[in-house]
């Protein structure tokens, strides 16, 4: 029961982020352009698909190991691209560092899920 609760809480992060990107698509795309992401609009759609699809799959426990590994890779890439705390001005440093570390903690939870024998 505890593993299910943990899985649902991690899934909630991805699902809510995917929904936010859908409802704020222009803002998401503009952010992707600002951080230098190529084909920003297509990458925003890809991020939505990964976050919503992966979050829902994680929540229901479908192919848990594969989904956890996929979300791990996605989260690491997104963290490296989107939360480069070492490049921002001092006013944004702590905010970006906090997001970076939060994402690293999420990766830790995903790795634990990827290592589990059961959903």
CA gap 96, 118 in Å, rounded: 34
The pLDDT score that the predictor gives to residue 59 is 97
Contact criterion met (CB below 8 Å) for 69 and 116: no
pLDDT computed for residue 11 by the predictor: 98
User: So what's the pLDDT on residue 114?
Assistant: 94
The pLDDT, as a whole number, for residue 18 is 98
Residue pair 45/53 in contact by the 8 Å Cβ criterion: no
Residue 61, domain extent: 2-115
pLDDT of residue 117: 65
- Tell me the pTM: 0.93
The predicted pLDDT at position 37 comes to: 93
Confidence (pLDDT) at 5: 95
Long-range CB contacts (< 8 A, 24+ apart) of 68-73?
68/110, 68/111, 68/113, 68/114, 69/110, 69/114, 71/14, 71/110, 72/107, 72/110, 72/111, 72/114
Structural domains in the chain (count): 1
Residues in the chain with pLDDT values less than 50: none
Nearest to 44 by CA among 65, 73, 24: 24
């Amino acid at each position: 029961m505890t593993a299910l609760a943990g899985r649902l809480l991690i899934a909630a992060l991805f699902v809510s982020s995917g929904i936010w990107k859908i409802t704020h698509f222009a803002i998401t795309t503009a952010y992707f352009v600002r951080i230098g992401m190529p084909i920003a609009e297509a990458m925003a759609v890809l991020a939505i698909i990964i976050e919503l699809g992966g979050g829902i799959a994680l929540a229901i426990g479908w192919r848990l190991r594969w989904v956890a590994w996929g979300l791990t890779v996605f989260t690491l890439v997104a963290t490296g691209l989107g939360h480069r705390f070492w490049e921002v001005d001092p006013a944004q440093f702590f905010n970006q560092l906090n997001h970076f570390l939060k994402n690293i903690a999420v990766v830790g939870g995903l790795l634990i899920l990827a290592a589990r024998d059961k959903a």
